[in-house]
Chain A
Amino acid sequence: MTSREIILSRVKTALSAAHRVPMPALPALPQLEGDASARIEATLAAIESVSGKTRRVTRPADLRNALADLIGAEKIGKAMLWDNADLRELRVAETLAELGVAILAPDADKRELAQCDLGVTGADAVLPQTGSIALRALPGQSELVSLLPRVHLALFRPAALRADLRDLLAQLQRDAHAVLITGPSRTADIEKTLAIGVHGPKVFYAWSYEG
C-alpha cells in the first residue's frame, strides 16, 4: 500500500463511527455603509491605520504631481511596474520616465530587480474595512513588483472596492494565484515592538484614482 492509501484508509477508519457534522451556515461579514465617496475615504483611513500612505487622485495632472512628490520624498532612481491596461492608460511608465526614473522590465534578473526603489501596481480588488488590496498574479502583473522594491505604490480605482472579505475572495478564487496586502511589511518579533519594513516593502503607498 502507498502512504496515500494508508492515510486515506486510516481517515476512513477514524470516521467510520463518527458523527458527520453538517456544513454550517456561515455568518455575514461586516459591511461598510455610506456612498461611494465615503467608502473611498474609509478605505484610505483604513490603509493609513496600518501605516500605509494614501492620496486621493482625481485628475491626470494630479497623478503626475503625486508621482513627482513620491519620487522626491523617497529618492526614487529605479522603478518597475505592472504592464497592464490600467497602468498603460494612466501613462505611469511614461510619467516616471519623464520625471527621470529608470524603468526596469519585471522579467529582468531578480538580483537587478532587487535594487529597484519603487514598484507600481494596480489593485484588482480592495477591502475598505481593513485597507487591504488584492493583487492577482496575471500575465503582466508580476508579483515581484509589489515585493522586491523598497517602496510599493498601488493605484486603485473606486470600482475595485468590494463589499466584504467574502466578496473579495470570491473574485480571487477565479485564478487562485494572488496576494492580499494589508500595509507595509512588518514584524513585532522583538519585544512586540512594531518595526516596519522587514523583507517586503518598507513604505506602502495606496492611491485611489478617480476619473
Chain B
Amino acid sequence: MTHPLARIDFRYNTQHVPPKVRAAIQKNTRTAIVKRGEAVAQLGVATWEQLRQAAHDLKLHTLTHLDAYLPQLEANVIAAGGVVHWANDADEARRIVLALARAHNVTRITKVKSMLSEEIELNEALGDAGIRALETDLGEYIVQLDHSRPSHPTNPTLHYTKEDIAEIFRRELGVDAPPDPFVLTEIARQKLRAEFLAAEMGISGGNFLIAETGTLALITNEGNGRMCTTLPPVHVAIVGIEKVIPDWNSLAVALSLLARSTTGQQLSAYTSFITGTRAGGPREFHLILLDNGRTQILRDPAARETLLCIRCGACANICPVFQNIGGHAYGWAYSGPIGALVTPQLIGTLRAGDLPFASSLCGACADICPVKIPIPQILVHLRQRVVAGDAFAAPVAPPAMQAGARAGAFGLSQPWLYELGSQMLKFAQMPFARGAWLPSLPPPANRWTLTRPFPKFDATFRDWFRARTPQGRAQKQTRALGAAVLALGAGALLFALARKLWRRK
C-alpha cells in the first residue's frame, strides 16, 4: 500500500505488475465472470434486470432519506440491547475500537473480512496498541500472513497461485504444505479454529443494515463471520453509513443480487442476521457508524450514486484494465472501477487524481453493476474535478494539462476550428508518416508510439458523411452557400480596403 500521504502513481503501478500476477488475475477474473453469467442466466435476464433497477432505486431512495433512516436504525439497535457509536473519520473509528478493546482487557481479536477495516487501517492501529487482530477469511488470512494487501474487493488472494500460497504457509506457519487448495484450506481451518475459541472480541464489517429492525446482515461463505460474531463475548461491527437499507423486503432484493454478482452463487453459504444482543450470543454488541468522507460524496449529485455500491467486485472482474493489472495498482483499499470512484472521493484528488483516468470508459462495469452505478459518467465527472476543479476540490492536474484540456474543450466546441485542426494534422504528420501508420511521434505523443503505432490522420469522415447522408448533403450545400457568401464578403472587404489604401497614397 502507498504511504498514507503519498500520491498514488497509477501509471507507475501498472508498469510494475509481475507477469505471473497478471496471469493469475486474468485466469481468476475470467472464472468469476463465467460463474456470474451462469447464475444470472439461471435466474433469467428479465428478472435480473428488474432486480437491478429496483436495487438502484431503493438504495438511492435510502441515500436521499438517510437523515430519517440513520436515526431509525440507531433507535432499533439500542432497543435491541446494542450500543451505537458514531465516527466522523478513520481516526475516531480506530479510537472507539481501541477504547472498547482496552475496557474489556482484550489481547486477541478475530476479524471478519471487511473493506472498511482496510480503509481505516484498523489492524495496524490495534497492532501498535499490542492487540493482535487476526483475519479469519481464508483469503485475508493468507494476505495477512504474507504482510500484503487484498488485491480485489471480494477475492483478496486473486493475485496468488496455489504455489505462492503453499510457499507463504511454509514460510510463515512452518508447515510443509503441497500446492493443493484442499490441503491448504484444511491447514487454515485447524490453525484458526483455536483462534476463534480463544478470541476475546470479534470485529466485523456489515453488508447491510436494516433500519426497520436495527439488524446487521453479514454474509460469508466460510463460516468465519458466524464464528467471530457468536463465540467471543464482545462483537464490534464497523459499517459505513451508506450501508443502510429500509426494510427486509429491500434485503430480499439486495440478497438476490449480491452473491450472484460476487461468486455466481444463488446465495452465499451463510447470511447472519444480528439485532443487538441475544441469549447465547455475545454479551455486548457495538455498532460503529462511519462517515469518513461519505457525507461529502452524498453532497455531490453527480457522484452520489457511488454510495450505492454493495461491494460485489463484479466491476473489477469485468474491467479490461483491472484484468491486466490487478488491485494493488489502485494504491488503496478499494480497487477496480469502483476503487477509481471511491478512492479519489474519500482521500482526495490530490493523492488519487490518477484514478479517474484508470479506465478506458468502455462501460463494461456499468453494464455488470448489480445496482446500476453509472461508473463511466462519474469517472468523467471526477476527471473534470481533477483537471478543472469544482465545488468540492481545486484542480490538481499540472498547469500544462489544464491549459491543454481548456484548449481541447474550446476546439471541440467550435466545428470550424475542429475541422481546421483535423485538416492541418494531415500536413503536420507528413514527416512522421510511414505508409498508413505513424510509427513514432515526438514527445509527449511518444508515450503512445513507444508501445504501438498510431494510425495516420485521414480526416475524411466529414467528407464521407457529406457525400452519403441527406443531412450531410444539406450541410454541404449550406456550407457551399456560406462559403460563397463569405468569399464575396471577404472580396468586397478586400476591395474596399485596397481602395482606401490606394486613396491614402
Which residues does A use to contact B, with CB under 8 Å?
2-4, 6-8, 10-15, 18-27, 29-30, 50, 107, 110-111, 114, 127, 129-130, 132, 137, 139, 142-144, 147, 164-166, 169-170, 172-173, 176-193, 195, 197-201
CA distance A178 to B188 in the complex (A): 26
Q: Please, could you name 18 A-B residue pairs with CB atoms under 8 Å apart, sorted by A?
A: A11-B67, A13-B299, A15-B66, A20-B64, A26-B58, A26-B250, A27-B47, A30-B43, A50-B265, A111-B197, A130-B267, A137-B281, A166-B248, A186-B269, A187-B221, A189-B155, A190-B165, A197-B185
Q: Does B275 interact with chain A (Cβ within 8 Å)?
A: yes
Q: Could you tell me which residues of chain B, from 51 to 70, have a CB within 8 Å of some CB in chain A?
A: 51, 53-54, 57-58, 60-61, 63-67, 70
Q: Which residues of chain B are near A172, meaning CB under 8 Å?
A: 248, 273
Which of A173, A189, A201 is the one whose CB lies under 8 Å from B157? A189
CA distance A110 to B53 in the complex (A): 45
**In the complex the two chains form, is A10's CB within 8 Å of B291's CB?**
yes
**In the complex the two chains form, is A199's CB within 8 Å of B196's CB?**
yes
CA distance A142 to B226 in the complex (A): 12
Q: What are the 4 tightest A-B residue pairs by CB atom distance, in nearest-first order?
A: A200-B223, A189-B139, A176-B275, A198-B222
Which of A20, A137, A197 is the one whose CB lies under 8 Å from B189? A197
Q: Does B236 interact with chain A (Cβ within 8 Å)?
A: no
**In the complex the two chains form, is B279's CB within 8 Å of A182's CB?**
no
**In the complex the two chains form, is B92's CB within 8 Å of A22's CB?**
no
**In the complex the two chains form, is A185's CB within 8 Å of B273's CB?**
no
Interface of B is mostly: helix
Interface of A is mostly: loop
Contacting chain A: which of B80-88, B359-367, B437-445, B469-477?
Answer: B80-88
CA distance A78 to B202 in the complex (A): 27
Q: Does B136 interact with chain A (Cβ within 8 Å)?
A: yes
**In the complex the two chains form, is A3's CB within 8 Å of B88's CB?**
yes
**In the complex the two chains form, is A192's CB within 8 Å of B31's CB?**
yes
B71 → chain A, closest Cβ, in Å? Answer: 7
CA distance A137 to B24 in the complex (A): 41
Q: Which residues of chain B are near A187, meaning CB under 8 Å?
A: 138-139, 185, 221-222
A11 → chain B, closest Cβ, in Å? Answer: 5
**In the complex the two chains form, is A198's CB within 8 Å of B275's CB?**
no
Q: Which residues of chain A are near B224, meaning CB under 8 Å?
A: 198-199
Q: Does B123 interact with chain A (Cβ within 8 Å)?
A: no
CA distance A144 to B47 in the complex (A): 36
**In the complex the two chains form, is B227's CB within 8 Å of A132's CB?**
no
CA distance A21 to B279 in the complex (A): 39
Q: Does B461 interact with chain A (Cβ within 8 Å)?
A: no
Q: Could you tell me which residues of chain B, from 304 to 324, have a CB within 8 Å of some CB in chain A?
A: 304
Contacting chain A: which of B4-12, B252-260, B372-380, B496-504?
Answer: B252-260
Q: Does B435 interact with chain A (Cβ within 8 Å)?
A: no
**In the complex the two chains form, is B265's CB within 8 Å of A8's CB?**
no
> What are the interface flags for B254-292 relative to A under an 8 Å C-beta threshold, 1 for contact and 0 otherwise?
011000000101111111111100111100000001010
> What are the interface flags for B208-241 relative to A under an 8 Å C-beta threshold, 1 for contact and 0 otherwise?
0000111100000111101100110000000001
Q: Which residues of chain B are near A191, meaning CB under 8 Å?
A: 24, 27-28, 160-162, 181
B26 → chain A, closest Cβ, in Å? Answer: 12
Which of B43, B44, B71, B87 is the one whose CB lies under 8 Å from A8? B71
CA distance A193 to B226 in the complex (A): 22
Which of B28, B31, B212, B222 is the one whose CB lies under 8 Å from A185? B222
A24 → chain B, closest Cβ, in Å? Answer: 4
Given contacts A7-B88, A15-B298, contact A147 B223 (CB under 8 A): yes
Q: Which residues of chain A are near B270, meaning CB under 8 Å?
A: 179-182, 185, 200
Given contacts A110-B197, A198-B138, A199-B136, contact A142 B253 (CB under 8 A): no
Closest residue on chain B to residue A190 by CB atoms: B181
Chain B residues bordering chain A, tally (CB within 8 A): 97
A42 → chain B, closest Cβ, in Å? Answer: 13
Q: Which residues of chain A are near B142, meaning CB under 8 Å?
A: 189-190
Given contacts A15-B298, A27-B54, A182-B265, contact A199 B252 (CB under 8 A): no
Q: Does B337 interact with chain A (Cβ within 8 Å)?
A: no
**In the complex the two chains form, is B197's CB within 8 Å of A114's CB?**
yes
**In the complex the two chains form, is B248's CB within 8 Å of A8's CB?**
no
Which of B57, B70, B256 is the one whose CB lies under 8 Å from A21? B57
> What are the interface flags for B181-202 relative to A under an 8 Å C-beta threshold, 1 for contact and 0 otherwise?
1101110110011001100000
Closest residue on chain B to residue A202 by CB atoms: B189
B111 → chain A, closest Cβ, in Å? Answer: 13
Q: Which residues of chain B are near A3, meaning CB under 8 Å?
A: 86-88, 92
Closest residue on chain A to residue B279 by CB atoms: A139
Which of A25, A29, A144, A179 is the one whose CB lies under 8 Å from B271? A179
Q: Which residues of chain A are near B43, meaning CB under 8 Å?
A: 30
Q: Which residues of chain A are near B186, meaning CB under 8 Å?
A: 197
Q: Does B249 interact with chain A (Cβ within 8 Å)?
A: yes
**In the complex the two chains form, is A132's CB within 8 Å of B267's CB?**
yes
Which of B138, B223, B227, B249 is the one whose CB lies under 8 Å from A166? B249
Q: Which residues of chain B are near A177, meaning CB under 8 Å?
A: 273-275, 278, 281
**In the complex the two chains form, is B281's CB within 8 Å of A186's CB?**
no
B31 → chain A, closest Cβ, in Å? Answer: 4
**In the complex the two chains form, is A147's CB within 8 Å of B230's CB?**
yes
Given contacts A132-B267, A139-B279, contact A24 B273 (CB under 8 A): no
Closest residue on chain A to residue B263 by CB atoms: A188
Q: Which residues of chain B are near A11, meaning CB under 8 Å?
A: 66-67, 70, 241, 295, 298
Q: Which residues of chain B are near A189, meaning CB under 8 Å?
A: 137-139, 142, 155-157
Which of A4, A12, A27, A137 is the one whose CB lies under 8 Å from B50? A27
With A12-B67, A27-B253, A50-B269 given, can you name 8 additional A-B contacts, CB distance below 8 Å? A8-B71, A14-B295, A173-B213, A176-B275, A179-B226, A190-B157, A192-B27, A197-B189
B204 → chain A, closest Cβ, in Å? Answer: 14
**In the complex the two chains form, is A23's CB within 8 Å of B61's CB?**
yes
